[in-house]
């Protein structure tokens, strides 16, 4: 019988684990890959992840003076662009639950001369900011690693100002069967091999491939965002649905 987080178990890739264990195990994955994370993104996506992120940045449409929270912001590539758009009168906060990833982000922002982006370690399920704080909250390639996705969506939504928007950039479900078959071959053979060769860590990249398969599909995530209190939720499929951007607005 399948068990979910309501009965004390959740998914870590294809494996069922106690809810209390998942956060620690995900932390182990990202601590392991932090130093090679950007290099592996380029290898895994053949550079296409930069196009996906550019689409999300353009869709976010950050305006001067806005307040932005980047959740699971990792190495800071989204926060960097948001900071440029928000300008000196705006505020962009880079956050991540993983200290190693956050350290990489802080260093990379500093290397680019960006010193006006506060960095904070936080859990997406319990965002520690007051309600109605941010104009925009983003979570890029991080929601699938959250133990309680519904709690995270609610928490982020509470922190949005009325009319503010939540943007989720995440791997999703290919829209055609032939593409899905090719994608499976790529994910379960190529990714662990590249993880071993480039990052000396095949297991972490096998988990990442499995976590993508366990993530809700486009319409399910849309419904979850609506259930969290967001309206006008739009879905933008990229690369045949391999990646999707969901954007919703707080009532």
Report CA-CA distances (Å) from 193 to 11, 34, 47, 70. 23, 18, 18, 30
Q: How far is the CA of 242 from the CAs of 138, 182, 217, in angstroms?
A: 19, 11, 10
Compute the C-alpha angle 90/76/169, nearest 5°.
90
On the CB side of 45, how many CA atoms lie within 13 Å of its CA?
18
* CA dihedral over 144, 20, 123, 44, signed as positive or negative: negative
| 62/161 Cα distance (integer angstroms) | 14
Whether 75 has a binding-site annotation, put simply, is yes
Q: According to the annotation, is 27 in a ligand binding site?
A: no
CB of 239 within 8 A of CB of 175? no
**79 belongs to an annotated ligand binding site:** no
Annotated binding site for S-adenosyl-L-methionine: 75, 96, 123-124
Annotated binding site: 75, 96, 123-124
């Amino acid at each position: 019988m399948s068990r979910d987080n309501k009965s004390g178990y959740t998914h870590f890739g294809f494996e069922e684990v106690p809810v209390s264990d998942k956060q620690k195990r995900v932390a182990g994955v990202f601590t392991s890959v932090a130093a090679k994370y950007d290099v592996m993104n380029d290898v895994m996506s053949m550079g296409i992840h930069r196009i996906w992120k550019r689409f999300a940045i353009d869709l976010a449409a950050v305006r001067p003076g806005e307040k932005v929270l980047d959740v699971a912001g990792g190495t800071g590539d989204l926060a960097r662009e948001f900071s440029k758009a928000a300008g000196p009168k705006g505020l962009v906060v880079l956050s991540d639950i993983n200290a190693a990833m956050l350290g990489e982000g802080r260093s990379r922002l500093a290397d680019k001369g960006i010193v006006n982006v506060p960095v904070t370690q936080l859990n997406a399920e319990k965002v520690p900011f007051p309600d109605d704080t941010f104009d925009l909250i983003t979570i890029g390639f991080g929601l699938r690693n959250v133990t309680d996705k519904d709690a995270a969506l609610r928490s982020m939504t509470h922190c949005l100002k009325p009319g503010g928007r939540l943007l989720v950039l995440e791997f999703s479900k290919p829209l055609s069967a032939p593409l899905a078959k090719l994608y499976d071959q790529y994910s379960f053979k190529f990714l662990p091999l590249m993880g071993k060769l480039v990052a000396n860590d095949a297991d972490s990249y096998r988990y990442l491939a499995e976590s993508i398969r366990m993530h809700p599909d486009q319409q399910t995530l849309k419904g979850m965002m609506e259930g969290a209190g967001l309206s006008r939720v739009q879905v933008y499929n990229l690369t045949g649905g391999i990646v999707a951007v969901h954007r919703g607005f707080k009532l």
